[in-house]
Structure 1
Amino acid sequence: MNPLSGALKFLSTTLFNSVFALAFFLVAGHFATPSFIGKVAIIQLMETITRAFFSILPYQLVTREVSHSYASSQGYNRLVYTSLSYSLLVSPLLLFLLFFPSYLWMSIPYFVLYLFTNYQDQLLIGLGKFTEVNVGNAVFTISRWGFSIIAIFYHSVELLILIWTLGAVMKAVYYQIYLPFKFSLDKATFKEIAKVGFPIYLTGVVSFISGQGDRVVTAFLLGSYYLGIYQLVALAAVVPSMLISSFSSSLLPSSTYYYTKGKDIKEISSVSFRIVTLISLPLAILGYAISPLFISKFFPQYVLGIPSMQLLILSLTSTMPLQLLSTFMIAAKKNYRPFIIIGIISAAEVVGVSYYLIPRIGIYGAAIAQAFNAIITSLLYLLFSHFQGVFKLERREIVGLALIGLSFLAFINWEVVLIVVLLGSKLLGIISNEEVKVIEGFTPYSLKRIIRILYLIAR
Structure 2
Amino acid sequence: MNPLSGALKFFSTTLFNSVLALAFFLIAGHFATPSFVGKVAIIQLMETITGAFFSILPFSLVTREVSHSYASSQGYDKIAYTSLSYSLLVSPLLLFLFFFPSYLWMSIPYFVLYLFTNYQGQLLTGLGKFTEVNIGNAIFTIARWGFSILAVFYHSVELLILIWTLGAITKAVYYQFYLPFKFFLDKTTFKEIAKVGFPIYLTGIVYFISGQGDRVVTAFLLGSYYLGIYQLVALAAVVPSMLIFSFSSSLLPSSTYYYARGKDMKEISSISFRIVTLISLPMAILGYAISPLFISKLFPHYVLGIPSMQLLILSLTSTMPLQLLSTFMIAAKKNYRPFIIIGIISASEVVGVSYYLIPKIGIYGAAIAQVFNVIITSLLYLFFSYSQGIFRLERREIASLALIGFSFLALINWEVVLIAVILGFKLFGIIGSDEVKIIEGFIPSSLKRITKILYLIAK
Q: TM-score category by the smaller chain?
A: over 0.9
1:186 alignment partner in structure 2: 186
Alignment of 1:4-153 (within 5 A): 4-153=4-153
Secondary structure of 2:51 counterpart: helix
2:168 alignment partner in structure 1: 168
| 1:49-81 deviation per Cα after TM superposition (whole angstroms, max 9, x unaligned) | 000000000001000000000000000000000
The letter of the residue matching 1:222 is: L
Q: Which runs of 5+ in 1 are unaligned?
A: none
Moved over 3 A (4+): none
Secondary structure of 2:14 counterpart: helix
Secondary structure of 2:413 counterpart: helix
2:448 alignment partner in structure 1: 448
Aligned counterparts of 1:293 and 1:430: Cα–Cα separation in 2: 33
Aligned length: 459
2:377 alignment partner in structure 1: 377
Aligned counterparts of 2:96 and 2:118: Cα–Cα separation in 1: 21
Deviation (angstroms), 1:122: 0.3
Aligned counterparts of 1:439 and 1:264: Cα–Cα separation in 2: 17
Deviation (angstroms), 1:123: 0.2
2:419 pairs with 1:419: yes
Aligned counterparts of 2:342 and 2:8: Cα–Cα separation in 1: 30
2:3 alignment partner in structure 1: 3
1:253 alignment partner in structure 2: 253
Aligned counterparts of 1:208 and 1:8: Cα–Cα separation in 2: 27
2:202 pairs with 1:208: no
Aligned counterparts of 1:369 and 1:334: Cα–Cα separation in 2: 30
The letter of the residue matching 1:372 is: F
Deviation (angstroms), 1:294: 0.2
Secondary structure of 1:408 counterpart: helix
| 1:292-322 deviation per Cα after TM superposition (whole angstroms, max 9, x unaligned) | 0000000000000000000000000000000
Q: Which runs of 5+ in 2 are unaligned?
A: none
The letter of the residue matching 1:297 is: K
Aligned counterparts of 1:369 and 1:285: Cα–Cα separation in 2: 20
The letter of the residue matching 1:444 is: P
The letter of the residue matching 2:84 is: L
1:326 alignment partner in structure 2: 326
Tell me the TM-score normalized by structure 1: 1.00
2:227 pairs with 1:227: yes
Alignment of 1:244-283 (within 5 A): 244-283=244-283
| 1:141-184 deviation per Cα after TM superposition (whole angstroms, max 9, x unaligned) | 00000000000000000000000000000000000000000000
The letter of the residue matching 1:302 is: Y
| 1:414-457 deviation per Cα after TM superposition (whole angstroms, max 9, x unaligned) | 00000000000111100100000001000110000001111010
Tell me the TM-score normalized by structure 2: 1.00
Aligned counterparts of 1:2 and 1:167: Cα–Cα separation in 2: 29
Aligned counterparts of 1:351 and 1:318: Cα–Cα separation in 2: 23
